[in-house]
Amino acid sequence: MSSFLERLMNGHEGGLKHEGMTPMQKIALRFVVIGLLFYGLAALEGMIMRLHEIKPLPMIDESHFFSIMTVHPMVGIFGSSYMIVFGAFLFLTPYLMKKPIYSVKLADLSWKFMAAGTFIMWLAGFLFHYAPLYTLYWPLPVDFEQFSLIGGITYIVGVVGIMIGTFLFTYNIFKTILYTPPGWEKQPSWELFKSAIGIEGLLNFFRRRKKEHLVPLPIAAISRGTIDMGLNAIVISSAGVLILIYFLGELFGASLKDTWVDALLYKNIFWWGLDLIADGLVLIFVAGTWYLLAMLISGKDLFMQNIARAALFLEMVVSWTVWSHHLMSDQGQPNVLKVVSGEMVTAFELITQGIAVFITLVTLWRARPLKMSNELKFLLGGILGFMLAVPAGIIQADLGMNRILHNTQWIIGTHVHVAILVGLTMTLYSAIYVLLPILTNNSVKLYSQKLANLHFWLHLIGGIGMGAFMGMAGMDGMLRRAIYLNGEYSTYMILAGICGAMLLVAFALFLYNIVMTIGINGLINIYKPATIQTNEAIPPQKEVQ
């Protein structure tokens, strides 16, 4: 076998040694691998849409284009970001709490439900062109003149799978934090719960003698973000049940009137739930991940840890009251909600995220000089992404600006894509680089640092550039959910397309680097049962590093 094929199959310097891995190490990697593959799918879909926005492609009609637009964010968020986050946190929670995970079986079921649910949901778009977008504005999801019943049912079945996976994750995380493992001394569950969600931290503000925190700071972030995740899953599941009732009515010949549901009230409830992702768990998880990464990279305690905990708690409360900035162009929405929830509460996100940036950077600064490792450079890229995207969000959550920016490419480019692709994804890449040696018991060595550097620069420049050119098109009136047939914004779209291609190439280089590092056999072995049977995060004989 040539050396290339040998390395492709068996990885760099022997690749992944899976024999010594615990079930949790394998499950975390299963999540990450599937999450990366779904990222690739979302990136391909994004590129198809970019090309169609430059010049409409003859093989793609409107229903096909909008079905891609419907599944693209769902695959990106649930199939990719959720999967990678779930894998990391299901491993980190027992690892940081220094106790076994509550249930390996539930963790394993979680990735299966998430992966299958995302794939089924994607099929609804690919096969049946079901295209109500992720917003599901009532009564579009039940518009049977535009969409087939089978497409709708397939979509909902997929979403149900994703939500079951999410509930399993949420339950497993909280159980792991609170439960008493067999043979252990009774754990103070209530005290742990108070510490995890921030009640103890809040009470500490009013105490002379501060109580010690029972859970580490990253666990506090994981808990608070997971609460938002659970609440969001309840809202999305409820919307799914409602839509399913209409589907079943249609199926059995008893069409229900869509006017029975108040479209504006539905929009409020749905956005309340949906915003728990965008303005809740993403910001909380990201802040918690930054803190953990800063501590691991610097080897030092977090700067201003109590402030960081308070900011995480504040962010959770803010996420429950911030939804109305999505309804600032709805004239029926009361002005008091637009101003208080839409403008003022949203402004708090500048403060909470600003605190996270400050604390992370100062923590790193205190440990200088640091080596510019992959995890550090991607962490700085992630911080930069949010420094660009959060103020863009604050700007559009203003009554004056929203009137001329709502539903333009500014929203989805400068704010959403910069936040997700540069802010969130680069943070996740940093976490992957930090976790890779821990998850593989230091058995792998990165195939190529040059490829890692190329991945970094192409992703950073591509992500910021694409957001910038989309934003400029938006300021010139280009809508985010529209097709332009006459090349109206082609200059911006060509430039955004070039940047999109950089992102796609960056991902291909990263994937190639990881495959060559681990080897195809190593990747396959991740999905084989672990030889060690334990609920511990890492092999018991190894020291926690």
Partner 1 sequence: MADSIDVLSTLKVVYTIYAWIVISLIAWFAYNITRDGRKEGAKPAIFYTYIAILVVIGTGLHFLTYHTVPWVPYDLNRHKITPDKVFHITYKDHNITIEGEVPMLIHCGDRVVFDVKSEDLTYGFGIFRQNGTMVTQMQVVPGSRNDLLWIFDKNGVYNIKSTEYSGPKGAYMEVKDAIRVIGCMEYDRYSMK
Q: Taking CB under 8 A as the criterion, which residues in 5-24 touch partner 1?
A: none
In whole angstroms, the minimum distance from the beta carbon of 265 to partner 1 comes to 9
For partner 1, the binding residue among 127, 372, 524, 544 (CB under 8 A) is: 372
In whole angstroms, the minimum distance from the beta carbon of 97 to partner 1 comes to 27
In whole angstroms, the minimum distance from the beta carbon of 437 to partner 1 comes to 21
Rounded CA gap, 315 and 301, in Å?
22
In whole angstroms, the minimum distance from the beta carbon of 542 to partner 1 comes to 30
For residues 416 and 466, the answer to whether their CB atoms sit within 8 Å is: no
Which CB atom, from 137 or from 184, has the smaller least distance to partner 1?
137
For residues 15 and 67, the answer to whether their CB atoms sit within 8 Å is: no
Q: Rule CB under 8 A: is residue 222 a binding residue for partner 1?
A: no
Name residue, tokens 């992957």. 432
Q: Rule CB under 8 A: is residue 339 a binding residue for partner 1?
A: yes
In whole angstroms, the minimum distance from the beta carbon of 481 to partner 1 comes to 4
Which CB atom, from 175 or from 480, has the smaller least distance to partner 1?
480
Q: Rule CB under 8 A: is residue 370 a binding residue for partner 1?
A: yes
- Find the binding residues for partner 1 in span 60-119 (CB under 8 A): 61-63, 65-66
In whole angstroms, the minimum distance from the beta carbon of 388 to partner 1 comes to 6
Rounded CA gap, 109 and 27, in Å?
10
Which CB atom, from 347 or from 511, has the smaller least distance to partner 1?
347
- Find the binding residues for partner 1 in span 232-271 (CB under 8 A): 259, 262-264, 267
In whole angstroms, the minimum distance from the beta carbon of 182 to partner 1 comes to 43
Is the N-terminal amide bond of 73 cis, ω within 30° of 0? no
Rounded CA gap, 293 and 312, in Å?
16
In whole angstroms, the minimum distance from the beta carbon of 453 to partner 1 comes to 13
- Find the binding residues for partner 1 in span 391-430 (CB under 8 A): 391-392, 394-395, 398-401, 403-404, 406-408, 414
Which CB atom, from 51 or from 263, has the smaller least distance to partner 1?
263
Both tokens of residue 53? 């926005």
In whole angstroms, the minimum distance from the beta carbon of 494 to partner 1 comes to 16
Rounded CA gap, 485 and 44, in Å?
22
Q: Which long-range contacts (CB under 8 A, 24 or more apart) does 230-234 make?
A: 230/166, 230/167, 230/170, 231/273, 231/276, 231/320, 232/166, 232/273, 232/274, 232/276, 232/277, 232/280, 232/281, 233/163, 233/166, 233/167, 233/170, 234/273
In whole angstroms, the minimum distance from the beta carbon of 461 to partner 1 comes to 11
Partners of 479 in beta bridges: 408
Which CB atom, from 3 or from 331, has the smaller least distance to partner 1?
331
Which CB atom, from 191 or from 258, has the smaller least distance to partner 1?
258
Q: Rule CB under 8 A: is residue 144 a binding residue for partner 1?
A: no
Candidate ranges 89-97, 189-197, 353-361, 438-446; the one touching partner 1 (CB under 8 A): 353-361
Which CB atom, from 63 or from 534, has the smaller least distance to partner 1?
63
- Find the binding residues for partner 1 in span 281-310 (CB under 8 A): 303-304, 307
SS3 assignment, position 442: coil
SS3 assignment, position 479: strand
Which CB atom, from 131 or from 436, has the smaller least distance to partner 1?
131
- Find the binding residues for partner 1 in span 45-64 (CB under 8 A): 61-63
For residues 525 and 18, the answer to whether their CB atoms sit within 8 Å is: yes
- Find the binding residues for partner 1 in span 444-473 (CB under 8 A): 464, 468, 471-472
- Find the binding residues for partner 1 in span 308-337 (CB under 8 A): 327, 329-332, 335
Tell the burial category of 58 from Cβ atoms under 10 Å away from its Cβ (0-12, 13-18, 19+): exposed
Which CB atom, from 367 or from 524, has the smaller least distance to partner 1?
367
* Distance set, CA 297 to CA 215, 259, 364, 520 (Å): 20, 55, 8, 29
Rounded CA gap, 201 and 218, in Å?
14
Q: Rule CB under 8 A: is residue 131 a binding residue for partner 1?
A: yes
In whole angstroms, the minimum distance from the beta carbon of 377 to partner 1 comes to 7
Which CB atom, from 359 or from 523, has the smaller least distance to partner 1?
359
For partner 1, the binding residue among 144, 184, 190, 365 (CB under 8 A) is: 365
- Find the binding residues for partner 1 in span 483-522 (CB under 8 A): 483, 485, 488-489
Rounded CA gap, 138 and 200, in Å?
41
Helix or strand (DSSP H, E) at 545: none
* Distance set, CA 162 to CA 62, 74, 151, 186 (Å): 27, 10, 17, 34
Of the chain, the end-to-end C-alpha distance in Å amounts to: 37
Q: Rule CB under 8 A: is residue 225 a binding residue for partner 1?
A: no
Both tokens of residue 139? 């009564």
Q: Rule CB under 8 A: is residue 368 a binding residue for partner 1?
A: yes
Which CB atom, from 329 or from 448, has the smaller least distance to partner 1?
329
Rounded CA gap, 359 and 292, in Å?
11
